[in-house]
Amino acid sequence: MDHLLSAAQKGQKPEFPADADTLEYAQLLDSQDKLGHLKDQFNIPSKSSLKKKALDGTIPGESNTTSSDQDDQTPSIYLVGNSLGAQPKSVKSRISAQLETWASVGVGGHFTSMENSPLSAWQDLAESCAAKSLDLVGASSAQEIIYMNTLTVNLHLMLATFYRPTPQRHKIIIEWKPFPSDWYAVQSQLAFHNLSASDSLIEIQPSDPETLYLSTESILATIDEHADSAALLLLPGIQYFTGQLLDIPKITAYAQSKGIIAGWDLAHAAGNVPLSLHEWNVDFAVWCTYKYLNAGPGAAAGLFLHERHHDRDGKVKNRLAGWYGADKSVRFNMEKEFVPSPGAWGYQLSNPSAVDLSCLDAALEVFGKTSMKELRGKAVVLTGYLEVLLKRLMNEGRGAAPFRILTPESVEERGTQLSLMFTGAKGKEVLQRVSKVLAENGVVCDFRKPDVMRVAPVPLYCGFEDVWKFVKVLKKGVEES
């Protein structure tokens, strides 16, 4: 494992031996994995819990489960952390701490940091989560980060501040297949400013329609083409469909050199790949916390606002403000004058959900047990292992596996996820069969209609044997089709 990790740390692709497709080899890597113990921090759905249709008071993995069939109690192979991350075990105790705080001291919970509680007072929770996220996104201080609302709301707030179209500069540059919410947000912002998408929205097309690859050159060329008329660039750190990781620092610097604001949707990048948002001079970024960060469905989203844009005198004209953005020293004074909290904190609107932030706090605690560097090392090896097994399957027999890997080959251009596109006359039919066989065998993957399956072996709770088993079941599904 060490030699694989050291190749990964150098940004090289790890090379696997001829016997890599044996169960023994997968188990050997798991036995040498220094992060393997982190899986114990999570409640992974079991094969039987996935079939639940009613609550029965049991949590998979806890001793209170009732099924007599031991095999059904085994954890599923959970490869959808790119959609909804697994539940950290400590979420339960944190929610209990909040219930006790609320029941015991009522409104005082806003200001009282209870002894023996793992959590800050309610009004400090979002900021304490920000302070725990410096390594996660590469911020220079906690004030560059805030957790609030959801990704799309935060995106609108950032567009309200940064997208100030003029007759000369009014275009927004995006990519051809943004996540629909980004698309709707941008379109509605244009409409809000009485602009039309046909005049003011520029879509970067894939360099190759087969692979859907977005080359950095084509992105820079689009920026060049609209250098005088573009106001803002909004791109995904990792493209949700193909899993391609874009060159955030290079694209950011290039856009800014042309006077264009660079904003990033990091929904698929935060907690997945190392980020250095401060050093890369990113203007703003937004991310949700329910994927690789494991904070639960709809949990509070993140926002990064570079220190360069911090409001030093309370005079950001285009900020949409609310009372929780007011500095804590005056927040409860009920004054009409808005005295903002520093940096990104001043963009808070409302009193956030303490329960929601408690889940996030639990999730961040797990990240605190390792580092993005270590996680990335394992992820490169784990995803590399998945790729090698898939390629061997594709080349097996008559080389007739009916799918190809959409995600770029290069380690620098991808995170954890690999997207498989099912091709050929029977491609969609095979995918349907495969999805059924995977579900029957307790493997949870994500399907994007009509022909793509996304597989994300998240290093926090997936291992090499999981990947090995996934490929074995996938093979079964392909052969049965």
Which residues form the interface with ligand PLP (CB under 6 A)?
Answer: 150-152, 179, 181-182, 236, 240, 265, 267-268, 288, 301
- What's the CA gap between 387 and 364, in Å, rounded? 29
Q: How far apart are CA 51 and CA 406, in angstroms?
A: 31
Compare residues 129 and 151 and give the one whose CB is closer to ligand PLP: 151
Helix (H, G, I), strand (E, B) or coil at 304: strand
Establish whether 389 is an annotated binding residue. Answer: no
Dihedral sign (CA 411, 232, 350, 133): positive
Residue 411 token pair:
């380690």
Q: Is 323 annotated as a binding residue?
A: yes
Collect all residues with Cβ–Cβ distance below 8 Å to 303 and sequence separation of at least 6: 145, 146, 147, 148, 154, 157, 158, 284, 285, 286, 344, 347
- Residue 188 and residue 183: Cα distance in Å, rounded? 9
Contact 117, 92 (CB under 8 A): no
Would the annotation count 290 as a binding residue?
A: yes
Ligand-binding site membership of 181 (annotated): yes
350 marked as binding residue: no
In angstroms, give the least distance from the CB of 353 to ligand PLP.
Answer: 14
Between 39 and 268, CB nearer to ligand PLP = 268
Question: In angstroms, what is the minimal distance from the CB of 87 to ligand PLP?
Answer: 18
Helix (H) / strand (E) containing 380: helix 372-395
CB 83 to ligand PLP: min, Å:
7
Residue 33 or 182 with smaller CB distance to ligand PLP = 182
The residue written with tokens 């916390």 in the block is 289
Q: Between 151 and 421, whose beta carbon lies closer to ligand PLP? A: 151
Q: Which residue lies nearer to ligand PLP by CB, 150 or 353? A: 150
Is 180 known to sit in a ligand binding site? Answer: yes
Q: Least distance in Å: CB of 287 to ligand PLP?
A: 8
Q: Is 179 annotated as a binding residue?
A: yes
CB of residue 58 to ligand PLP, shortest distance in Å: 29
**Which is closer to ligand PLP, CB of 127 or CB of 446?**
446
User: How crowded is the C-beta side of 57, counted as CA atoms within 13 Å?
Assistant: 2
Residue 268 annotated as binding site = yes
Buried b (16+ CB within 10 A) or exposed e, 207-244: eeeebbbbbeeebbebbeebeebbbbbbbbbbbbbbbb
Shortest separation between residue 268's beta carbon and ligand PLP, angstroms: 6
Q: Binding site: what residues are annotated?
A: 151-152, 179-182, 265, 268, 290, 323, 351
Q: Binding site for pyridoxal 5'-phosphate: what residues are annotated?
A: 151-152, 179-182, 265, 268, 290, 323, 351
